[in-house]
Chains A and B, each alone.
Chain A
Amino acid sequence: MANLQPVRTGGGTTGDAERVAGPAPGDAAEDSVLGLERRRRHPRLGRTGELVLLCGPPLALFILFVLVPIGLAAYHSLFNWVGFAPRTFNGLHNYVVAIEDPVFRSSILHNVIIAVLSVAIQLPVSIGLALLLNRNLKGQAAMRLLIFAPYVVSEAISAVLWLLMLQPGGAVDVAMKAVGLGGLVQLWLGNPHIVLYTMFGVITWKYIGFGIILLLAGLQGIPSELTEAARIDGATSAQVTRHITLPLLGPTIRIWIFLSVIGSFQLFDLVWIMTSGGPANASSTMVTYLIHNGFNSYEFGYGSAVAVILFVICFVFALLYQRFALRRDTAGALTAMAG
């Protein structure tokens, strides 16, 4: 709603309208005057019309494709339903079954592990690489392209590629043996104790480019005057990074963490194609659990309950994060716009 603020305060006053018409060159004065008259005649209607025109379609789509499905999922989650035919109401039974199911609980844990690892490992690596790529290096564009390339490749293709490379005796094993790391070769997708971390490796390969591009954009936004001034004052490179670059990169980092955690909770395609959540549910996530126990089992009521739990987790996280972590950033943005 932030972008509506200036429009609303404008309130259809003459002054505001004049400001709109102000910059018009003399030739167009007549048109502007006509426009003004039109506006004066139906100020409320014009404002309402504008709002309906601009907000109506997205709002309708949002209601139709976001709110209604959420409502339907919440409704269906209260039933025992094979997807067609009569459904039987069973209250919160589906939620109880889901929460009591150790496989579902371990799926949530896997999502949390991926989220924590993302922040703990991907973030520092992304920042490091972004700082590196922000310098004037030879072949900078080519390096940026290479790092960003995995993000552009679709999830399904990435998953199939890695699935093939991670087979026992596959490309990864061969490459490791070739450089003398044969002793570290594992059953990457076949060992229940390893598979989740293998998946994290693939996720990192896939999404780190996105983080880097985001951070690079953030770095571009840091005025060079600040770093120059710091250097003139005798700051070392490390001090500039620590006291100027990183604090000013804060909003970008906070947004990245938000996207990364939500992405971790919704993790599906890579896992589904590479392991289907196995072996023995060792790499299952909330969404693979949902598909397996909802769609594939014709348990649409139960699947909906799982979807609602997933939604609540994401929603609560998003609210808390917006409230406590992003507040400064959004407040700044609003103030800047209103001012």
Chain B
Amino acid sequence: MRRSIGAVLTCAAVATAVAGCGSSSSNSGSGSSGGSGGKTATLTWWNNATSGGLLNTWNQAVKAFHAAHPGVVIKNVPIQNEELQNTKEPAALQSGQIADIFQQWGGGREASQIDSGELANLTSVTKSWIGELGARVSAWQVNGQQYGVPYDLHVVGFWYRKDLFQKAGITSPPKTLDELEADDSKLKAAGIVPIAVGSKDMWPDAFWYEYFAIRDCPSATIDQAMKSVSLKATCFTTAAQQLRSFIKTNPFEPGFLGIAAQVGAGSSAGMLGNGKAAMELQGDWEPGTVQPLTSDKNIYNQLGWFPFPSISGGAGTPGAVLGGGDGFSCSTKAGPACAEFLQYIDSVPVQKGVAAAAVGLPANPAASSAITTPGLKTAIAYEKATPYLATYFDVALPVNVGTALDSAAADFFAGQGSDASIQQAVASAASK
């Protein structure tokens, strides 16, 4: 789940930490109590499901797990996503106060966190069952070792409004970039904003750049670039050139540079939900994000999904998908009950609850039948058939490099920098 809703609330706390013309970082991790050994082990669980269907699913999972394992009590502590990711976990890892079970986004962030020595190596304890989840668990591996386990997966693609497409006379979603541009023109002619983008949050801009890169660079080049933390291959420049040409066709809403992705009805997600824009390039969490921002009761059926179009002459692996997921790690203090709980989270009954919460695709493919949202069904079918899934670059890369990439992509959308500036930003962050 990639949400900035509520980020506003963390600001005050962060402000306090840096205010006063001085600087201090203060955070108290909620103490984690031991895992094994005693009669009853209490495991603290930090996750980002602060509301909605996923919170219910987790609460039920906690109860059911306790019923099956009377010696283990899981204490569910939901924490707002950005606060958890940017403040709580780093501070807790620093001070050895990390929860027994905690949210894990995988990739470069996980690799950074491992240096703390607080993350348990789960390779041997998950070996017997993790195969059920398929190849995508590799995004939670570092050097072939499993330090985290996913509970949901994400794919990024185009969400579009069927009614607005119909109004503009578009009969089927575009398959190529040229078709997309032609459809943009049709929508504009019908007085409809073709595509909404939440540039204020930067990462939606990065999605665009990353997809152009995926269409222009073969999968091996992408993998190598993430591994070596360098986007020096020329196809990354080509991607920027093509993105620049695309932005010049003015497909986005007016003032998109100041529009947030998910906060409020005026956000890009809100625009899609309220029929103010026809498309948005977003993750599969989009229906769940859009729904509270609109009064349209039929919104789930109104939204269709299509993959990022192909680019003629692009050297990228055909059908490749950009995505990621959410998972959990265990602290070294948590003991074997943590891995057992993660196994339970990934079992079909709990995974069906995850699927029904419409925040992502269940990590266990056996539970995908529980998905009812039409757009999500299309998305998961495409995801299952994909030959290559690239993790969001800002997650796959080390944290500071990923942040620099997002910033550079946002600058690029604002018309700043050259076609090589995103590559340069990555190189300069990597060398810092």
Contact = CB atoms under 8 A, between A and B. Distances in A.
Contacts of B230: none
A333 to B, nearest CB: 23
Nearest to A306: B23
Interface in A134-189: 154-156, 159-160, 163-164, 166-168, 170, 187-189
Contacts of B415: 280
B1 interface: no
Contacts of B78: none
B125 interface: no
B420 interface: no
Interface string B103-121: 0000001001101111000
A310 B115 contact: no
A278 B260 CA distance: 11
A156 B266 contact: no
A137 B114 CA distance: 67
- Determine chain A's interface SS by DSSP, over half rule: helix
B15 A273 contact: no
B219 to A, nearest CB: 27
Contact of B256 (A70, A170, A190): A190
B257 A192 contact: yes
A297 B400 contact: yes
Contact of A314 (B9, B21, B201): B21
B416 to A, nearest CB: 5
A301 to B, nearest CB: 10
Interface string A286-300: 010011110111111
Q: Tell which of B25, B94, B199 has the most Cβ of chain A within 10 Å.
A: B25
Interface string B404-423: 10010011011110000000
Interface residues of A, number: 66
A307 B22 contact: yes
Given A66-B20, A82-B399, 11 more contacts: A73-B23, A167-B255, A170-B266, A187-B258, A192-B414, A268-B11, A268-B15, A279-B257, A279-B410, A280-B416, A281-B407
28 contacts: A65-B24, A69-B22, A80-B432, A83-B91, A84-B93, A155-B15, A156-B8, A156-B11, A160-B8, A164-B264, A168-B254, A170-B266, A188-B258, A189-B255, A190-B259, A191-B257, A266-B19, A268-B18, A269-B15, A275-B200, A279-B258, A280-B410, A280-B416, A287-B19, A290-B23, A296-B86, A298-B398, A298-B399
Interface of A: 65-66, 69-70, 72-73, 80, 82-86, 97, 154-156, 159-160, 163-164, 166-168, 170, 187-192, 195, 262, 265-266, 268-269, 272-273, 275-276, 278-282, 287, 290-293, 295-300, 302-304, 307-308, 310-311, 314-315, 318
